[in-house]
Structure 1
Amino acid sequence: MPTAIELRGLSKHFGEVRAVDELDLDIVDGEFFSMLGPSGSGKTTVLRLVGGFEQPTAGTILLGGEDVTDRPPFGRDVNTVFQDYAIFPHMSVRQNVEYGLRVKRVPRTQRRDRAEEALATVRLEGYGDRRPHQLSGGQRQRVALARALVNRPKVLLLDEPLGALDLKLRREMQIELKQIQRDVGITFVFVTHDQEEALTMSDRIAVFNQGRIEQLATPVELYEQPASAFVAGFVGTSNLLTGEVAGKLLGEDGTFVVRPEKVRMTAPEEAPAPDDRTCVARGVVREVVYLGASTHSVVELDAGTTLTVSHQNTDRSIDAALERRDRPVALVWQRDHLVALAGGAPHPATTPEEETA
């Protein structure tokens, strides 16, 4: 498939800090691509470099096969939606959406038609005459999106645009954003530190760490087959088994991860015998955390580490789960649910001097 964005040897240094470090990346035309990582990992800097808001220290940026490395933002066929939306309060919704077309001197009738089309795309038909202060947070976010889409860019850059919304609205907008992207067929490049957003919307995800990509994969591959301890710890909750603990429980050296939902907790006397398919660990429940839809139990193992077990709150009584605190239990999981990991820090590392998102 043709590429919308090609980054070759891209670097950005702020003094001694390497915010982006010799990055190579291809983003396919028409995909929803997310850059995920902790604060200071380099993802926002990459977005700003693609948008032309920063100049690279080294490397090249190609859009649609054309070198735009030295072009200013207005010379690139991209638009950006920022977290704060930057909507003009003195203008109507329609005037906000039309603004970019006015700058380009598009005729008035054509401006209005394209603005109404863009508002319909983001499901804001009939809102053109309203003022921004009359809109909800989610509606203002859609106005910012419509203003970017009305220019019909080849690439739309989104810098954590859902960060200011409450949880319920954010989840609704995640689904709507993905549907809009499918409808318009534009390449979306989405920056976030929220793993749920990335997993929900993306065709592919790049996990950033200290200016480099730790893993590039589909959401399913990223969650089920993390490439490193860093990715396993940042994307979802993970149980790491390493060193002496791995030797005791698995009979193998190395570092392994098993997700909490793959682990089953049972009474010690009901645990099966470990074999070449089944792993069994014994311990004591130290904490039980009720999360509404699910419950997490933290178990201190006899082998010398702690594991988290997650189960859905369906027909199981939460009172029974709470009563397990300080009681001995056995944990059981299948060996094929273990993932062997490469090296890497298990927790996100940040540098204060680096970018903030």
Structure 2
Amino acid sequence: MSTPAIRLSGLRKTFGPVEAVAGIDLEITDGEFFSMLGPSGSGKTTVLRMIAGFDRPTAGTVALGGRDVTRLPAYERDVNTVFQDYALFPHLSVIENVEYGLKVRKVPRRERRARAEQALEAVQLAGFGGRKPSAMSGGQRQRVALARALVNRPKVLLLDEPLGALDLKLREQMQVELKQIQRDVGITFVFVTHDQDEALTMSDRVAVFDAGRIAQVGTPEAVYEQPATPFVAGFVGTSNLLTGAAARSLTGRDGTFSVRPEKITIGAEGAPGTVSEVIYAGPVTRFVVDLDAGARMVVVEQNRRTGKAQRGERVQLTWQQEHVIEIGGNRAA
């Protein structure tokens, strides 16, 4: 097997009495687009900073390409980091921003200019080198920051919520572009985000963080369709959790079960209940249904028809048994 681009072993980080990272073991494959997903305070950014060398672990090791770099400073690690604020120099042109790191490393002027132009071409900004950052859009500035990181040809590129400052439409556009750039350059991307859609859209694999630990690692499909814990089921998308008497009534089994809203149909037969809320969201409508069995269920329907259920209306819900997932177990029988 090939050597992982990143290997974290027993990684811990404390800040006084606070344990920000509580013992993480993780391997990230060379050339992988890997996302660290979790809410604020879950430890994902602290892990990224330890990989980058900005923070030193309290315990454990960080290895890059098989080399233990735990005690090496950031400038001796073959990684680059793109931050949310981009940190471009406003007085320099775009191409001067991109080649700045090469200039610090005393790369000859002709070579650094050629490499900077190649980096701008890779992020679809060829011909923009003479502009100042202030004359560019938010998405373009984000790509300049990306080019500045790529020009150093790192083995690993770390991205700390780089799309967080963009508006929704531009963020969605940049998600597609960022994944395409990663495929083109072929290096390992480690992407930190609290946005589930970003992680699911771009990643080869996702690690879901919860209170300083990794709750689950897997492909986007596996994490979404087979959540390992109630936290993962609730954080990655929306999930209906069935427990206690409601679980026994609706599944015939004891345990904790998850059913995604888009898997449920409002029909003429099934589990009876009452619509308590109707939320129109453009392409879809969300229905909140209080079942007689004691569970509150969210149902999502595409807006393909008129005559939808109204608030206070009695309805019945159905779903396929294969879509009932036992948390920590398998699909319900």
TM-score of the superposition, structure 2-length normalised?
Answer: 0.97
C-alpha distance in structure 2 between counterparts of 1:281 and 1:173, whole Å:
42
User: What does residue 338 of structure 1 align with?
Assistant: 324
C-alpha distance in structure 1 between counterparts of 2:170 and 2:248, whole Å:
46
> How is 1:1-357 mapped onto 2 (pairs within 5 angstroms)?
1-266=2-267, 270-271=268-269, 280-314=270-304, 316-317=305-306, 320-321=307-308, 324-342=310-328
Residue 342 of structure 1, CA deviation: 2.9
For the residue of structure 2 that corresponds to 1:257, the secondary structure is strand
- Alignment root-mean-square deviation, CA: 0.9
C-alpha distance in structure 2 between counterparts of 1:93 and 1:108, whole Å:
16
C-alpha distance in structure 2 between counterparts of 1:84 and 1:165, whole Å:
10
For the residue of structure 2 that corresponds to 1:254, the secondary structure is coil
The one-character-per-residue Cα deviations of 1:62-111 (angstroms, maximum 9, x if unpaired) are: 00000110111100000000000000000000000000000000000001
The one-character-per-residue Cα deviations of 1:251-303 (angstroms, maximum 9, x if unpaired) are: 1100000000100002xxx31xxxxxxxx311000110001011100001111
User: What does residue 277 of structure 1 align with?
Assistant: none
- % same residue: 66
Structure 1 ranges of 4+ moved more than 2 A: none
The structure with higher relative contact order (CA 8 Å, sep 6+) is 1
For the residue of structure 1 that corresponds to 2:164, the secondary structure is coil
Structure 1 unaligned regions, length at least 5 = 272-279, 344-357
Residue 176 of structure 1, CA deviation: 0.3
Residue 2 of structure 1, CA deviation: 2.8
C-alpha distance in structure 1 between counterparts of 2:138 and 2:185, whole Å:
23
C-alpha distance in structure 1 between counterparts of 2:294 and 2:62, whole Å:
49
Residue 248 of structure 1, CA deviation: 1.4
C-alpha distance in structure 2 between counterparts of 1:337 and 1:33, whole Å:
27
TM-score of the superposition, structure 1-length normalised?
Answer: 0.91
C-alpha distance in structure 2 between counterparts of 1:249 and 1:339, whole Å:
13
C-alpha distance in structure 2 between counterparts of 1:6 and 1:189, whole Å:
12
Equivalent pairs counted in the alignment come to 328
Structure 2 unaligned regions, length at least 5 = none
